[in-house]
Amino acid sequence: MTPFQPGFSGSTFDRADHLRGDLAALATLLLHPQARLLQLQGFDPALTAEGALVWNSLLDQERSEDYAVSLILLGLLDGIPHFVGLQQHSAEAPLYRTPRTMEVLSLLGPQDMATYGTARSLIDWHGRHRFCGKCGGATVAHRAGWGRRCSVCESEHFPRVDPVVIMLAEHGNRVLLGRQASWPKGRYSALAGFLEPGETVEEAVARELFEEAGVRASKVRYVTSQAWPFPAQLMLACIAEVQDDTLHIATDELEDAVWFSRDEVRAALAGDPNTRFLLPPAYAVAHSLLQHWAWPDEAQ
Q: Which residues contribute to the site for its own copies (CB under 8 A)?
A: 6, 8-9, 11, 15, 17-18, 91, 114-115, 117-119, 121-122, 125, 127-138, 146, 153, 158-163, 194-203, 207, 211, 222, 224-227, 229, 232, 234, 236, 250
In the complex, the smallest distance separating the C-beta of residue 82 from its own copies, rounded to whole angstroms, is 12
| CB of 132 or CB of 268, closer to its own copies | 132
In the complex, the smallest distance separating the C-beta of residue 111 from its own copies, rounded to whole angstroms, is 12
Closest by CA position to 232, among listed 47, 96, 113, 100: 96
Rg of the Cα trace of the chain?
21
Helix (H, G, I), strand (E, B) or coil at 159: coil
| CB of 57 or CB of 251, closer to its own copies | 251
**Spatial separation of the C-alpha atoms in residues 287 and 225, rounded to whole Å:** 12
**Spatial separation of the C-alpha atoms in residues 234 and 227, rounded to whole Å:** 5
In the complex, the smallest distance separating the C-beta of residue 78 from its own copies, rounded to whole angstroms, is 17
Assign residue 78 a region: left if phi > 0, alpha if psi is -120 to 50, beta otherwise?
A: left
**Spatial separation of the C-alpha atoms in residues 21 and 109, rounded to whole Å:** 31
Beta bridge partners of 94: none
| CB of 115 or CB of 275, closer to its own copies | 115
In the complex, the smallest distance separating the C-beta of residue 51 from its own copies, rounded to whole angstroms, is 20
In the complex, the smallest distance separating the C-beta of residue 59 from its own copies, rounded to whole angstroms, is 25
| CB of 63 or CB of 134, closer to its own copies | 134
